[in-house]
């Protein structure tokens, strides 16, 4: 049986699209994207999913208390029997309820080498700080922002001529690559968790 992935997004959806491409190309084998959920109406990521014939659901989050909202999302994910939840530019903190319901089954991609530069505009934070290497992180999600055990990271050099836009573009390319790799590792169960360390097994 194919493993079922649920994607949560809020915007552009390029990481979703990279995952969908990897599934289609067999780089994430024995898997399918069962549902894409957005908290924002008009998120381009939803249009991208529809164009691929993938099921979508928009659940507006405005004005709803965090757990009340998350229960609605969980109901949709359960309805679609998802095995793994991938946050792909999902700009919301998850409630303790949601995190506890799916232990080690929620992944996130973040455009920095965590624990540096969590939160918003991480690429700008990295440039302004003056780091020589930036990058991205795929990690399991806990109830804290951009935290949780790290599965994979990739680095990119920060060059003198880099701008926020050029750095973001370089990082995004790596995001697309390592998110699929991490999803494959997790779906195939080729890891174990020791404290905060995710140890890859063969
Ligand atoms: C990506 O750069 C992702 O790493 C970031 O939002 C962007 C979404 O782009 N996520 C976070 O900052 C999470 N804290 P996308 O919609 O094209 O995938």
Indicate if ligand 1 lies below 6 Å from the C-beta of 175: yes
Catalytic residue among 30, 110, 139, 176: 110
Residue by residue, what is the 3-state secondary structure of the chain? CCEEEEEEECCCCHHHHHHHHHHHHCCCCCEEEEEEEECCCCCHHHHHHHHCCCCEEECCCCCCCHHHHHHHHHHHHHHCCCCEEEECCCCCCCCHHHHHHCCCCEEEEECCCCCCCCCCCHHHHHHHHCCCEEEEEEEECCCCCCCCCEEEEEEEECCCCCCHHHHHHHHHHHHHHHHHHHHHHHHCCCEEEECCEEEECC
C-alpha of residue 164 to centroid of ligand 1, in Å: 14
Q: What is the per-residue pLDDT for 143? A: 82
Domain boundaries, the chain: 1-102, 109-202
Q: What is the per-residue pLDDT for 103? A: 95
Tell which atom from ligand 1 comes closest to the C-alpha of 136: 4
C-alpha of residue 191 to centroid of ligand 1, in Å: 24
For the chain, give the mean pLDDT: 97
- Domain 1-102: give its CATH architecture: 3-Layer(aba) Sandwich (3.40)
Q: What is the per-residue pLDDT for 62? A: 87
Q: Give the tens place of pLDDT for each residue, 26-43.
A: 999 999 999 999 999 999
80 is catalytic: no
Q: Give the tens place of pLDDT for each residue, 45-91.
A: 999 999 999 999 999 998 999 999 999 999 999 999 999 999 999 99
Indicate if ligand 1 lies below 6 Å from the C-beta of 14: yes
Q: What is the per-residue pLDDT for 167? A: 98
Tell which atom from ligand 1 comes closest to the C-alpha of 12: 16
The CATH class of the 109-202 domain is: alpha beta
The answer to whether the 1-102 and 109-202 domains have the same CATH topology is yes
Please tell me the residue having the least CA distance from ligand 1 atom 6: 89
Q: What is the per-residue pLDDT for 153? A: 98
Q: Give the tens place of pLDDT for each residue, 112-169.
A: 999 999 999 999 999 999 999 999 999 999 988 899 999 999 999 999 999 999 999 9
Please tell me the residue having the least CA distance from ligand 1 atom 10: 89
pLDDT above 90 for 202: no
Q: What is the per-residue pLDDT for 55? A: 98
């Amino acid at each position: 049986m194919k493993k079922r992935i649920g994607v949560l997004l809020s915007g552009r959806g390029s990481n979703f699209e990279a995952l969908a491409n990897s599934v289609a190309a067999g780089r994430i084998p024995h898997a399918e994207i069962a549902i894409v959920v957005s908290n924002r109406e008009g998120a381009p990521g939803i249009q991208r999913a529809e164009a691929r014939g993938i099921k979508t659901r928009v659940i507006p989050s405005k004005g709803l208390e965090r757990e009340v909202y998350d229960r609605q999302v969980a109901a949709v994910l359960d309805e679609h029997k998802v095995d793994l939840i991938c946050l792909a530019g999902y700009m919301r903190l998850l409630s303790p309820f949601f995190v506890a319901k799916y232990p080690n089954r929620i992944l996130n991609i973040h455009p920095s080498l965590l624990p540096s530069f969590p939160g918003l505009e991480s690429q700008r934070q990295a440039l302004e700080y003056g780091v020589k290497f930036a990058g991205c992180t795929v990690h399991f999600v806990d109830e804290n922002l951009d935290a949780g055990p790290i599965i994979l990271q990739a680095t990119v050099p920060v060059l003198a001529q880099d701008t926020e836009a050029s750095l973001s573009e370089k990082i995004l390319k790596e995001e697309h690559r390592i998110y699929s790799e991490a999803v494959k590792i997790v779906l195939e169960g080729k890891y174990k968790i020791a404290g905060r360390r995710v140890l890859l097994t063969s």
